[in-house]
Amino acid sequence: MLDQKTAARYPFLKESADLLRLKGVTLDSLISSLAYERARALGKERVLEAVEFAKVVERPIATEMDALNELLSYPVARMLVSCLGDEKFVRRYAIAEAKLANARLSGEVERAKERSVKRGRAPPSSDGGIDFVQRIAYELGLRVHTVGDSLAVDFSDYLRFSSAIKGRSWKLVNQDVREGKTIIDEKRFVRLIEQLITEKIVSELPLPVTDSIIESLADDVEEVGRLLEQKRAEQPKKDFGRVSIVRFPPCMRKLLEMIRAGENVPHTGRFAIVAFLHTLGMDSETILSTFATSADFDENKSRYQIQHITGEISGTEYTPPECSTMKSYGICFDPDSLCDKEWMGHPLKYYRLKGKRPRKKRAEVKEATSRSSARAGRR
């Protein structure tokens, strides 16, 4: 069983939840008793920090009471998020909690290295804090191995758990793969765990909440909701202008044509075109009507899939895959001269560039306009 301070630092673990049950703290007392007022305040802080900064701030845990309040603040925060009823915010909150866990786990790794250095030898992967980090990874479903002095994860696990992490350096082609295992350093190991924690929290929320919970937390929920709306209002909207199919890259034009013709389009292709249209500003109903001419069109099924990709029911707004990913999926169709440019890496970049006149043409238009104005002046 974890000690109370460790449980407070990693409240998403099963042992941390078990410790709370042993404490005998009831849900009713947690949301209403004066004894847990500090825990409720900290829980609200966690959620407000997720809104404001997209991360939960590290707080010192000096005493056992600090630890208890920190541990109890986690279920309070989860109830607040659940009462809020905003599916898109669930992922932002999950990411915020996972970032805090990343910072704490990175500290475990660094302390293990320092202990090893003091003993005058290189830090092995199973030393001290690394062992604990491996235990957490195992609980979350990530199998960890050692290859020499290095950490490694199964090839299939790496593919599954790194797929949502953006960045060229994470692509499998750039990894050291040996006998079905992908070699990773401690930093990447912790980053994979962060992703697993994010997905774990997203899968668990929102929780079912009773009327009494909603009533007890109503003021805090309203405060969080106001800040969330304020932050969203401050975010600049991406404006691609009116959607123009003339500017579509060949892959997206082909996918749209295939869907409208009722041809068999793989899931990856449907995902790509929906995410592409959504990012350009097309709403879910318009995307749905775009597909309605398909011979195998199923309105309910298509609506569910579209709303999942656009974030209406999943809490995550997906963007279309990069060109390299489209190629690996086998859905990069008929690339043209712009596609073949070395720097062309994304369908959205193609779309933006297609909307711009070449500089030479713009200069010619400007010069012609000036000549026309001059002639008009002489008249």
Please tell me whether the overall predicted TM-score, pTM, comes out greater than 0.75 for this model. no
Q: Which two tokens stand for residue 368?
A: 């012609």
- pLDDT surpasses 80 at 349: yes
- In this prediction, residue 361 carries a pLDDT of 44
pLDDT tens column, 229-263: 888 777 655 554 577 888 999 999 999 888 877 78
Amino acid identity, residue 80? Answer: L
Instruction: Characterize the bridge pairing of strands 176-178 and 150-154.
Output: unpaired
Angle, in degrees to the nearest 10, between helices 87-118 and 186-204: 150
**CA angle, residues 38, 205, 222, in degrees to nearest 5:** 50
DSSP readout, 163-198? TT--SGGGSGGGSEEETTEEEE-HHHHHHHHHHHHH
Count other C-beta atoms under 10 Å from residue 118's C-beta: 8
Q: What length does the chain have?
A: 379
DSSP readout, 138-150? HHTT--EEEETTE
> How far, rounded to the nearest angstrom, does the alpha carbon of residue 132 sit from its chain's CA centroid?
25
Q: What percent of the chain has pLDDT over 90?
A: 55
Mention every residue, 6+ apart, whose C-beta is less than 8 A from residue 290.
256, 259, 260, 277, 282
Under 8 Å between Cβ of 225 and 262: no
| Closest of 92, 83, 100 to residue 8, by C-alpha | 100
Rounded to whole angstroms, the Cα distance separating 183 from 175 reads 7
Rounded to whole angstroms, the Cα distance separating 152 from 137 reads 12
Give the DSSP H or E segment for 268.
helix 267-279
pLDDT tens column, 31-80: 999 999 999 999 999 999 999 988 999 999 999 999 999 999 999 999 99
DSSP structural state of residue 127 = S
pLDDT tens column, 94-145: 999 999 999 999 998 888 778 767 766 544 443 446 889 999 999 999 999 9
Exposure b/e, 40-57, CB count within 10 A at least 16 = b: bebbbbbbbbbbeeebbe
Rounded to whole angstroms, the Cα distance separating 331 from 41 reads 50
Under 8 Å between Cβ of 44 and 227: no
Amino acid identity, residue 85? Answer: G
